[in-house]
Amino acid sequence: LVRTLFGTSLSFAQKKDERTKIFIGPQAVFRMDRDSDYLKRIDLSLTTDLNVPDRRVYLLTAGFALGRSFKFEKASETVTVLTSTPPDDRYEEILADKVINFPSGSSEVQGAALPFLRDLGDFLKANPTFWNTIEIEGHTDANGKLSYNMKLSKDRAAAVRQVLMSQGADGNKVTAEGYGPTKPLVKEDTAEARATNRRVVMAFSVSGREQRNSLSAKIKELRTKYFPE
pLDDT at residue number 207: 84
Rounded Cα distance between 181 and 195, Å, is: 12
Does residue 193 carry a pLDDT above 60? yes
Instruction: Mean pLDDT check: name the lowest of 22-36, 141-155, 195-209.
Output: 22-36
Does residue 224 carry a pLDDT above 70? yes
Nearest to 201 by CA among 147, 106, 155, 135: 135
Give, to the nearest 10 degrees, the angle between helix 113-126 and helix 209-226. 150
pLDDT at residue number 57: 57
pLDDT at residue number 195: 85
pLDDT at residue number 83: 39
- 52-81 tens-digit pLDDT: 665 555 656 666 666 665 555 554 444 333
Maximum C-alpha span of the chain = 131
pLDDT at residue number 91: 84
Q: Of 121 and 11, which is predicted with more confidence? A: 121
Nearest to 24 by CA among 1, 62, 2, 51: 51
Does residue 225 carry a pLDDT above 70? yes
3-state helix, strand, coil in the chain (%, to 5): 30, 30, 40
Alpha helices for 41-145 (secondary structure H): 113-126
Residue 13 neighbours by CB under 8 Å, 6+ apart: 19, 49, 51, 52, 57
Is residue 68 within 8 Å of 48, Cβ to Cβ? no
pTM over 0.75: no
Q: Of 76 and 140, which is predicted with more confidence? A: 140
Region 167-195 average pLDDT: 93
Does residue 116 carry a pLDDT above 50? yes
Is residue 65 within 8 Å of 43, Cβ to Cβ? yes
Q: Of 133 and 82, which is predicted with more confidence? A: 133
Region 142-159 average pLDDT: 95
pLDDT at residue number 90: 81
pLDDT at residue number 96: 77
pLDDT at residue number 188: 85
pLDDT at residue number 78: 41
Please give the single-letter amino acid code of residue 217.
A
Supply the DSSP string of 183-206, one letter for each residue: S-SS--SSHHHHHHHSEEEEEEEE
Instruction: Mean pLDDT check: name the lowest of 92-96, 159-163, 165-169, 176-180.
Output: 92-96
Nearest to 60 by CA among 43, 80, 46, 48: 46
CATH superfamily of 89-226: OmpA-like domain (3.30.1330.60)
Residue 25 neighbours by CB under 8 Å, 6+ apart: 4, 5, 45, 46, 47, 48, 58, 59
Mean of the per-residue pLDDT values of the chain: 78
Rounded Cα distance between 144 and 108, Å, is: 19
